[in-house]
Amino acid sequence: MEPEYYELENGIRLLHIPTQSPVAHLGVFINTGTRDEPEGQTGMAHFIEHMIFKGTERRKAFHILNRLESVGGELNAFTTKEYTCLYTSFLNTWYARAAELLSDIIFHSVFPEREMKKEKDIIIEEINSYKDTPSDLIYDEFEGALFAGHAMGRSILGKPENVKAFSRKQIMEFFGSNYCTDRMVICSVGGVSFKRFIHTIEKYFKESCRNQNGITRIPPIEYKAFSINENRRTYQSHSIIGNRAYARGDHKKFSFGLLNNILGGPGLNSRLNMMVREKHGYAYSVESFYYPYSDTGVWGIYLGTDNGTSEKATALVMKEMKKMRTEKLGSLQLSQAKKQYKGQIAIAFDSNINVMLSGGRSCMHDHRLLSVKNINEKIERITSSELLEVANEIFDPALLSSIIYKSI
């Protein structure tokens, strides 16, 4: 079904994708994240994501958490570098209940001080737990070094000393400045008509007056390649080799997405998996990743290896990247790569909750959700010459950075 759009008088943008499924998904996306935090308040956006469920003007935490769970639904949230999302999954019968609950949480949360100490302790435990998982932590530290000295390099979880110092006044100031109606998108995927969806959302969300606080973000500072080596008491060595990459709005984004998929995407037939793991057995885990943001992007290759094979695995990775910089794909290779990439995208869009999350994010940043058909058309237009061009821009050895956790 085709997506349908609407905007409330207070500036909240709506996107609805009707389906035949009895299960619906409804999310509120707020265009604010870790990079929008004031200096010295690292982790504030994530802390608010936790605290927003701790009580409203008429509900305590128990009532918030029980409201959808009692009818088999789910309520969840997450924070990223650039946005925050609160979302629900439920039977279509409970659309109004889900919309009312999200509205109450977003517009009437009180952030009770009695809950703050407990939630601070939970988040600090989350930070410490993260430090015990080097295969996760290395991604965070890589981005921190890639954007050193800039807000994009901040950890989403924050620093323990900052989290401990958060006050209710700071929470209210950040919340008031960033949870503005002109920064909100509501995305729905479910078995209700567009008319009913509009009626339900207007009933619970139009009560908030239009409030605007235009978002201004400072682009990342100049990038300099780095090499970081750390000794860690782990069983495996963990490595990331990478670079900055294209932003969401860059026309080269789709070409690089295809290139990245060929190199080390989720398919077991990716070049890195076939060479590093299947042929030589040098790594238990090898993959490449690409995260486009509003004004920059992150790309990298992760390796989980034994100490004795780390250097050999890295050499193979560099060899494969050199091939992609110097050898054009043949027409058959390019055609097969496009088929695989389009198939993976189609499978991802076969999940309604993925469609809702992708739709809200796209509507927030790009104002429209690209359909699978639109994406396929963009992929079909990619040429071997374009892949060679982006490979030479992003895989340039002089621009590659690395971070290595060597096991001891």
Given a contact cutoff of 8 angstroms between Cβ atoms, the answer to whether 188 and 21 are in contact is: no
Query: pLDDT tens, 170-192?
Result: 999 999 999 999 999 999 999 99
Q: Please say if the pLDDT value at position 314 is more than 80.
A: yes
Average pLDDT, the chain: 94
Q: How many CA atoms lie within 13 A of 378 on its CB side?
A: 17
- The confidence score (pLDDT) of residue 367 equals 79
pLDDT-based confidence at residue 147 (cuts at 50, 70, 90)? very high
Count Cβ atoms below 10 Å from residue 304 Cβ, excluding itself.
Answer: 21
pLDDT-based confidence at residue 210 (cuts at 50, 70, 90)? low
Domain layout of the chain by residue ranges: 4-205, 227-407
Class of domain 4-205: alpha beta
pTM for this one?
0.94
The answer for residues whose C-beta is within 8 angstroms of residue 22's C-beta and 6 or more apart is 91, 92, 191
20: its two tokens: 């035949």
Collapsing DSSP to helix, strand or coil, 8 comes out as coil
Q: Please say if the pLDDT value at position 212 is more than 70.
A: no
- The confidence score (pLDDT) of residue 369 equals 85
The answer for residues whose C-beta is within 8 angstroms of residue 70's C-beta and 6 or more apart is none
- The confidence score (pLDDT) of residue 393 equals 98
- 224 by Cβ neighbours in 10 Å (0-12 / 13-18 / 19+) ranks as exposed
Number of helices followed by number of strands (H, E) in the chain: 15, 11
Amino acid residing at 174: F
Query: pLDDT tens, 33-90?
Result: 999 999 899 999 999 999 999 999 999 999 999 999 999 999 999 999 999 999 999 9
Class of domain 227-407: alpha beta
- The confidence score (pLDDT) of residue 395 equals 98
pLDDT-based confidence at residue 266 (cuts at 50, 70, 90)? very high
Measured distance CA(355)–CA(188) in Å, rounded: 9
Best CA proximity match to 25, nearest among 97, 108, 98, 110 = 98
pLDDT-based confidence at residue 207 (cuts at 50, 70, 90)? confident
Domains 4-205 and 227-407 in one fold: yes
Q: Are strands 297-305 and 237-245 parallel, antiparallel or unpaired?
A: antiparallel
- The confidence score (pLDDT) of residue 211 equals 67
100: its two tokens: 């009312």
Query: pLDDT tens, 348-402?
Result: 999 999 999 999 999 988 878 888 999 999 999 999 999 999 999 999 999 999 9
H helices present in 32-167, as ranges? 44-51, 61-69, 95-108, 113-131, 134-146, 160-165
Best CA proximity match to 249, nearest among 211, 229, 219 = 219
Average pLDDT, stretch 243-264? 97
